[in-house]
Structure formats: structure tokens, C-alpha cells
Amino acid sequence: MPTEVENALELRLALKKFMPDLGKETQNEMANALRPVVARARGFIPADAQLLSGWVKETASIDTSNYRAFPTFNSSDAKRGLGYRVTPSKPNKSGYVSLARVQQTNAGGAIYETAGRLNRDGRTQGTSKDSSKSLNPNAGKQFIDNLNGTGKLVNARPKGMVGSPSRKQTGRAMYRAWAEDNGVANAAVIKAIENAKVKFEEKMAA
């Protein structure tokens, strides 16, 4: 899913400083490429009634919603949390910066997206911080089974790519939408950056 473009950040900074109009044009082109993926992903978010009632915001009790660490789910909030960015992100631990990305900013939506990709039957009971604290020993499996009933985990790795797929590229809505897009949005974003580079160099040379 991630694609590295050499000197892309330097180009964006140069556009912002010397050719802001071209910079905005490039951002609009990237946004147009990502917008359909976001719309498709929002369509994969389930209705509240499809999920376990104890997890849904409207039906969770005051005690559980106020004091449990596990975020509740609301379909509308999860859909609003899905969006895109076409401005540079902060560098990650490896120093990489994202220039364009689809993201889920809602906690409940993020859990729906990724729950089960590490532990297919959910967390087991135990004393560690990563263990389930539920009194129900089958809570994890029941939770994941319910989510899988609304949408299976799909790996967004492009078809034909060499190497082993990563769990980090797997999800039920955002990653599924990216997988079904099959590289179209990614190619359009790269093309927008490359076209901007050509136009920038031509204008600077004129």
C-alpha cells in the first residue's frame, strides 16, 4: 500500500514556496484520486444494529461508556472518521513522510477496521496488559465473529506484488476499499506528483 516517491517532499515544499498555484492544483488532483476510495470505504462501515449491542455507543450504559478503556462504536462517527489527507504528515520512526493518505481517525472505527488481524479469535484472558479482562472467556471470539459477519478482513496488498503480505495492510473498510481499487488511486497520486515535477522544472527553466 505505501509507495515511496523520491524527492517528493522536497518538490512539495518547493511548490509551496515558489509555485503555490501549482501546489494547490497537485493537491486537488491527489484529493480527486483518494475521494472515491474513501466513499467506498464508508460504504463498508456497518450499521449500529449489526454489531454487538454492548459495543454500540447509544446502547452502552453510562458506567461502561465512562469508565472502560475500550472505545464504543457509532456508525456515523466511524464514517466521519474515514477521510484523506494530501498534506505532508509528521515523519514516522523511520523518517518517512506521507504526502497523501487515506485514514481512520475514529477510535471505534479503527477497532472495527483492524480487530482480529493479530488474534483471529480475539484476546485471551490473562493478567498481562494485552489480555482480555472480560468475565466471559469467549468474549474475544464472539466479538471478532460478529465483526467478521459484517465484513471480512481484506489485505490491501496490490495483486502481483512480490513478497509476503503484511498484517498491517489488512482491514474491513479502508483497506478493503484500497484493495478493491487495485492501485488506481495510488497510480493517480504518483502521476499527479510526477506531472507537478515536470511543470515545475519547465517553469523554472523558462
Instruction: Report the alpha-carbon distance of residue 128 to residue 131 in Å, rounded.
Output: 5
Q: Which range of residues forms the domain containing residue 16? A: 8-205
Residues whose CB is less than 8 angstroms from the CB of residue 119 and which lie 6 or more positions away in sequence, other chains included? 140, 144
The phi-psi region of residue 160 (left if phi > 0; otherwise alpha if psi is between -120 and 50; otherwise beta) is left
Predicted pLDDT at 138 = 79
Q: Is residue 3 part of a domain?
A: no
Output the nine-digit C-alpha cell for 184.
488506481
Q: Which neighbouring-strand residues pair with 101?
A: 85
DSSP label of 48: G
Residue 66 reports pLDDT greater than 60:
no
Instruction: With respect to residue 1, please indicate whether it lies within any of the assigned structural domains.
Output: no
pTM of the model: 0.84
- The C-alpha R_g of the chain, in whole angstroms, comes to 20
Confidence of residue 159 (pLDDT cuts 50, 70, 90): low
The predicted structure's pLDDT at residue 68: 52
Our count of domains for the chain comes to 1
pLDDT band at 164 (very low <50, low <70, confident <90, very high): low
**Buried-state track 161-191, b at ≥16 Cβ within 10 A, e below 16:** eeeeeeeebbbbbbbbbbbebebebbebbbe
CA separation (Å) from 123 to 70, 73, 119, 127, 150? 13, 18, 6, 12, 20
Provide the pLDDT for residue 126: 59
User: Is 2 inside a domain boundary?
Assistant: no
Residues 183-196 have pLDDT tens digits of 999 999 999 999 99
* Closest by CA position to 41, among listed 127, 90, 104: 104
pLDDT at 125: 61
Q: Could you tell me the three cell numbers for 54?
A: 454492548
Q: Residue 65 pLDDT more than 50? A: no
Lowest mean pLDDT among 15-29, 50-64, 66-80, 161-175: 50-64
| pLDDT tens per residue across span 118-156 | 888 776 665 566 666 566 677 889 999 999 999 999 998
Q: Specify the 3-state DSSP secondary structure of 104.
A: strand
pLDDT greater than 60 at residue 67: no
Within a domain: 119:
yes
pLDDT at 7: 76
Q: Which amino acid is at 197?
A: K
Residue with cell 523554472: 204
